[in-house]
Structure 1
Amino acid sequence: MTEIEIGKNKRARRAYAFDDVAIVPSRRTRDPEEVSVAWQIDAYRFDLPVLAAPMDSVMSPETAIELGRLGGLGVLNLEGLWTRYADPTPLLEEVAGLRGVDATRRLQEIYTEPIKAELITERLKQMRDAGVTVAGSLSPQHTKEFAKSVVDAGVDMFVIRGTTVSAEHVSSQAEPLNLKEFIYELDVPVIVGGCATYQAALHLMRTGAAGVLVGFGGGAAHTTRSVLGIAVPMASAVSDVAAARRDYLDESGGRYVHVIADGSIGRSGDIPKAIACGADAVMVGSPLARATNAPGRGFHWGSEATHGALPRGQRVEFEPVGTLEEILFGPSTVADGTMNLIGALKRSMATTGYTELKEFQRVEVVVG
């Protein structure tokens, strides 16, 4: 790998973001109607390779149900407003009317309300009764405390999501979550992340996870790079983690761990780029926050923005462009890649001659 000299004391390898790469058309094209974007993780098959990020501005129980009916997977934030308040609607309306520092301060106050196990049960039951695949997310810090409530409520897929999740967390303050033991004892598949390097991904795969999230969790709403100085451009990160998946497949004797790009998916063109770099699916936040029926009411934020001592996120304002269904399937009334995400993915695959997602991972990409 070619390294660049930063100065006499430091060298670094060059990494690429999705904006730095492009997909190369091939000699063969297909009809978009012949393209399938279905994928399967564990026993669950989905028509769309789209997971909604567990962010209160994107996913309520109602929007998770709607996305499930449309063919994707809505992941509910089980540490969010829906599990802290019986009815968070007035709070969401209040926050939508605030700006700047006032909004950040109020979000910090709102999220000091304790998480209630009975509300976790109630929200997941609501999703299960609707007949969709039920997925909920906890951070590593709260997984031990609430895991039993989540599993007893009948979750189909458990997501452990944080800014950076390690298989070897060390703490002198409390006993850390042993991911390998935890996942082994669960009867449901677990998706865990974020991570952004080959080695970190390989360690997470060895815990028994069904899927690994690539990224830093907050997407368009996080400021981790500005606050902590930590970031890895997503095209390189996804490719590195896909290499770990390949090597783990050999190491484990055939166990395939799904790679899910979780970050920098802001426009429709980022989805085929993520898959071209090796992702099996994408977790999106900001594109769905633009829905007219999104809980954030035109605003978007992640859990990083509500940290009581060191917020690493900001509340982003978006102009709503259409319903959740229109954002996924069109018709699009804009030409900026914020609507008809699935139509764009199918056309990208068709233009390069591919009809299946796994095949599309082999498409040629260029830097430029």
Structure 2
Amino acid sequence: MSNEIEIGRGKRGRRAFSFDDVAVVPSRRTRDPRDVSTGWQIDAYHFDLPIVAAPMDSVMSPATAVALGNLGGLGVLDLEGLWTRYDDPAPLLAEIRALPAAEATRRMQEIYAEPIKSELITQRLKEIRAAGVTVAGALSPQRIQEHYQTVLDAGVDLFVIRGTTVSAEHVSTSAEPLNLKRFIYELDVPVVVGGAASYTAALHLMRTGAAGVLVGFGGGAAHTTRVGLGIHAPMATAVSDVAAARRDYLDESGGRYVHVIADGGVGHSGDIVRAIACGADAVMLGAALARASEAPGEGWHWGPEAHHAQLPRGERVEVGTAGTLEEILFGPGHTADGTTNLVGALRRAMATTGYSDLKEFQRVEVVVSPYQPR
């Protein structure tokens, strides 16, 4: 059955759905939320929460990465951010928060023009390791060749290759592209790579040996990719497609399981529920964690796309502060807008639909029910 629709006589398009377009359906069984497990494991690393912090300066510092790790999640530090460019980024963070909207992009481009320093990569990762939590750092594909050895020497546990889109086959006539399969094969640590937004792209990334695939393409709160490039991947469809690629690769590889991590469009607790229902093993959160009082952005949020030197595809946005990191994750919540007690909401949804762990919950019934704002 095809779900393509006719756009005009010369073009047809596939119908795709965002998280707002779908909802989960209760079953015949319910459970006590206290009996529900939200734990997951990637490679040798177990986490109590299916929550990975996005490598963005407004979300993660070494201190917040440690705090999230102690609460059961995984913090990923942006190794191309302010923390690896400046000895003390606090004044720069304060300046970015205070910038007038009309000047924000240009000034951020100037701030992020400072070169990345290898010694600061080492220092920041060692700060996280000293706290005894899982150490994860992220680089874009363009920076891998230059800095990956420094990252490995510093003792990273999980390596994240994150870009707006990352393919297993990058074509260039001006530079030798990164051979992702060879690169991952030669590393001694598990690699999470993305974003990918289609079945075919994800399947090729899985074949490189990646331990996890990030699903998404410019769909976060601070992205303007759809406006700037005309590219967008509705997340419910994207996650479902990549989950299908995971299933088929499991058969193709003889049992190798690649984790699917939804990255984008996951701003509220209901989005986490729907992401896992569509097949994700975990979610990568940006704006949702930027609302924590400990977040470096202090109520402001931006990603690396916002200060791209040639073509910015993001912006600094105000998300406000909803509570402490612990309140964001575990409550108590004092509003009904899905910004606090994210884990409690996930537990409640799993219990209400009768599922006891995340792998089971991926089988929950889902309906197309477009959200109608009140």
Verify same fold: TM over 0.5: yes
The answer to whether the Cα contact below 8 Å between 1:217 and 1:262 also exists between their aligned partners in 2 is: no
Equivalence for 1:252: 253
CA deviations on 1:121-150 (whole Å, 9 max, x unpaired) are 000000000000000000000011100000
Deviation at 1:3, TM superposition (A): 1.1
Deviation at 1:293, TM superposition (A): 1.2
Q: How does 1:111-130 map to 2 (within 5 A)?
A: 111-130=112-131
Equivalence for 1:315: 316
The answer to whether the Cα contact below 8 Å between 2:167 and 2:205 also exists between their aligned partners in 1 is: yes
| Local SS of the residue matching 1:36 | coil
Equivalence for 2:141: 140
Is structure 2 residue 45 aligned with structure 1 residue 44? yes
Give 1:271's aligned amino acid.
I
Aligned residues: 368
Distance in 1, Cα, partners of 2:364 & 2:37:
16
Deviation at 1:13, TM superposition (A): 1.1
Equivalence for 1:90: 91
Give 1:32's aligned amino acid.
P
Q: How does 1:199-348 map to 2 (within 5 A)?
A: 199-216=200-217, 219-348=220-349
Distance in 2, Cα, partners of 1:319 & 1:167:
37
| Local SS of the residue matching 1:62 | helix
Runs of 4 or more above 6 Å deviation? none
Give 2:174's aligned amino acid.
Q
Distance in 2, Cα, partners of 1:83 & 1:117:
8
Deviation at 1:101, TM superposition (A): 2.1
Is structure 2 residue 150 aligned with structure 1 residue 166? no
CA deviations on 1:326-366 (whole Å, 9 max, x unpaired) are 00000001110000000000000000000110000000000
| Local SS of the residue matching 1:336 | coil
Equivalence for 2:155: 154
| Local SS of the residue matching 2:150 | helix
Distance in 2, Cα, partners of 1:54 & 1:218:
15
Equivalence for 1:32: 33
The answer to whether the Cα contact below 8 Å between 2:219 and 2:233 also exists between their aligned partners in 1 is: no
The answer to whether the Cα contact below 8 Å between 2:219 and 2:232 also exists between their aligned partners in 1 is: no
Equivalence for 1:12: 13
The answer to whether the Cα contact below 8 Å between 1:218 and 1:313 also exists between their aligned partners in 2 is: no
The answer to whether the Cα contact below 8 Å between 1:161 and 1:217 also exists between their aligned partners in 2 is: no
| Local SS of the residue matching 1:181 | helix
The answer to whether the Cα contact below 8 Å between 1:218 and 1:304 also exists between their aligned partners in 2 is: no
The answer to whether the Cα contact below 8 Å between 1:58 and 1:288 also exists between their aligned partners in 2 is: yes
Distance in 2, Cα, partners of 1:60 & 1:193:
21
| Local SS of the residue matching 1:136 | strand
Give 2:29's aligned amino acid.
R
Aligned Cα RMSD in Å?
Answer: 0.7
Distance in 1, Cα, partners of 2:217 & 2:271:
16
Structure 2 residues without counterparts, runs of 5 or longer: 370-374
The answer to whether the Cα contact below 8 Å between 2:306 and 2:314 also exists between their aligned partners in 1 is: yes
Distance in 1, Cα, partners of 2:155 & 2:214:
22
Deviation at 1:218, TM superposition (A): 6.2
